[in-house]
Structure 1
Amino acid sequence: MEFFNKVGKMALGSRLRLMSTMITDDAAKIYELHGIDFIPKWFPVFYLLSEEKEITITEIANEIGHSQPSVSKIVQEMIAAGLIQENVKTTDKRKNVIVLTEYGLLVLNKLKLQCIDVEAAVEDLIGESNHNLWAALEEWEFLLGQKSLFKRVNEQKKLRESSAVQIVEYNDGYQSVFRALNEEWISSYFKMEEADYKALDNPKEYILDKGGKIFVALYDNEPVGVCALIKMNDPDYDFELAKMAVSNKCQGKNIGWLLGQAVTNAAKELGASKIYLESNTILKPAINLYHKLGFSKVVGRPTPYERCNIQMELQLK
C-alpha cells in the first residue's frame, strides 16, 4: 500500500493491525461459510478445551498468553453461547474447571472440517508468496522474546545520540565542570570525602602532573561528562579509573561507555597492564558499565573511601 511505502517501518504496528483485521474479518465469514456460530477470538480457548478436555481459567490464560480477566470474559461469552460450562464436579474443589458442552462437541466436529480447509488455504497462500510469513512470524516472535522492540529502539536512540558526543582532553577551563559533575552524583548517593576534594580541587596537581589524564564528554559542544585516569603508586596496578560522572540531563546517551573507552584506550597507549577502580554496588548502571568494559571484581585492597564496597580490575596485557 502506498501509505505504508511512504511511512516505512515506523508503521509496522499499524500494518500488522490492518492485516490482523483483514484476517479476523475473513475468519468470521469462514465460520459462517461452514455453518458455525462462532466468534474468532474464542478459538484459542475452544482449541485448548478440545485438547485438554477440562482445564481451569488460570491454566488457559497461562497457555495462550492472555490475562486472566480477558480469558474470564471470553469464557463467560462462550458459556452464554452454550459452548462450554464451568463448575463441573472435580476431585479438587479449589479449581474452577471448564469443559465443552454437548453442543460444544458438535461444533468441534464441524470445526475440524473447517480447519482442514483453512490449513489448505494457508498452504496455498504460502506457496504463492515469495516469503513464508508463518515461518517469519515464528522467527520474529523468538527474536522479540530475546530482545523487545522497545529495547532495540532504545539502543538505536543511544547510538544516534552518542554520535553527537565528542570526547576531548581536559584543560583548565573544565575544572569547574569536573568538580560540579562529580559533586552532583556523589552528593546524590553519599557524602563528599577528603579524597574527593584532593582530586576535584586540584586536578592538575593530583592527576595530570603525576602522569594521569582527564577526559571530558561534550554533547552539542556542552561539557556533560568527565572521567579520570589516575596514576597509581602500586606494584599491582598502573592506573585507576576514577571520577567518572555524567550529567543527569544526558543519561542514556552512551556517554559513560565512550568515556570509559577513552580512558582504557589511553591506558593502553601509556603501556599499562592493569587498571583498577572502586565503586559501590547501589550504582547498578555504573557496575554494569564496568563489566561491559571488561572489569572484574577483586577483593581485599585498602581504600580511602567510606562509600567503596566493590573493587574491580581490568587486565590489559
Structure 2
Amino acid sequence: MANLAVMKTINDAFAQFKQGLAGIYDTREIASISLMVLTEIINTSKANIKAFGDRQLTFAQQNELNGILAQLKTGKPLQYTLGYAEFYGLRFKVNPATLIPRPETEELVQWVLDSSPNTNSSILDIGTGTGCIAISLKKNLTNVQVSAMDVSVDALNTAKENAVLNEVDVNFIEADILNYTSDKKYSIIVSNPPYVTLEDKIRMHRNVTDFEPHSALFVPEDDPLLFYRAIADFALASLEPDGLLFFEINESFGKETAQLLTDSGFKDVEIRKDLSGRDRMIRSVR
C-alpha cells in the first residue's frame, strides 16, 4: 500500500514508472510507456496528460497503475499488459499466443496497398498472428478478397476477434505452410514469417524472448530461410501470372532471400529498407 500513497497525481505516476522501469527501458521508452498507460487508464488525451500533471488520480486509478507497473517490472511487454496494440491506425487485441505488431510491418502493409488494385483480386497473408496485416489490408481494400493463414489455433482465434473488432470480413485458414497445398489462386501473397536466429536472440530484449511466442519468432540456425523457401514454393503454384509475393525479412539475410526468390523463378525482385535504413522487406513477381 505504500506505493499507492505516492502515486496521487499524474506527475507522481510518471515518477513511479521512471523509478520502477529504470533497469528495463531507457528514459525515452519509459516516458512513452508511462504516457500510453496514463492515457489508457485515465481515458483522456496525451495532451491532457502532459498539461495537467497535478491532476489527482482516483484510488481505483492508483490501484490499476500499480498493477500495470508491477507487470511491466517483470519485463512483460506493455501491449500484453494492456491487452492491445495499435497498428496502421487500428486497434488489435494481443496476447502471448500472438506476436506484437511492429511499426516496420506497417511499412510492408503500405507497400502492398500501393501495389494492389482494389478490384477483382485476392490476397493471402501467411502466418497472420493477430491478423494485423490481413485486417489492415481488407480495411483499406474493401473490394479485395483477403484470406489469412496460421498454424496456431489460439492465434487464429485472436485474429478472428480482431476482424470483428475492426469490422472486416477475412477468410481464416488453419494450416502449416510447411505442409500445405491449395488449388486457389491469389493476386498477392504476403508474409511476415519466423526469421529470428539464435544469434539474433542474444541481442534481443528479454521482453521479446521471454514473452512472445517462439514458434512465431525463431528459425533453425542451420536453415534461417526455411519459411521463405516453403512460401516461395507455395507462391509459385498459387499466385496468378504476374502475381506479387511480399515478405518481411531478416535484415541480415536480404541478399540471400532475394537470391532464393530469383533462383525459384521469380522476377523483378526488389529489396526495400524500412525508415531506420535496414533491409526489411522484399517484393517479387511471379
TM-score w.r.t. structure 2 length? 0.27
Kindly indicate whether structure 1 or structure 2 has the higher relative contact order, using CA contacts under 8 Å at least 6 residues apart.
2
- Structure ranking higher in helix proportion: 1
Larger Rg over CA atoms? 1
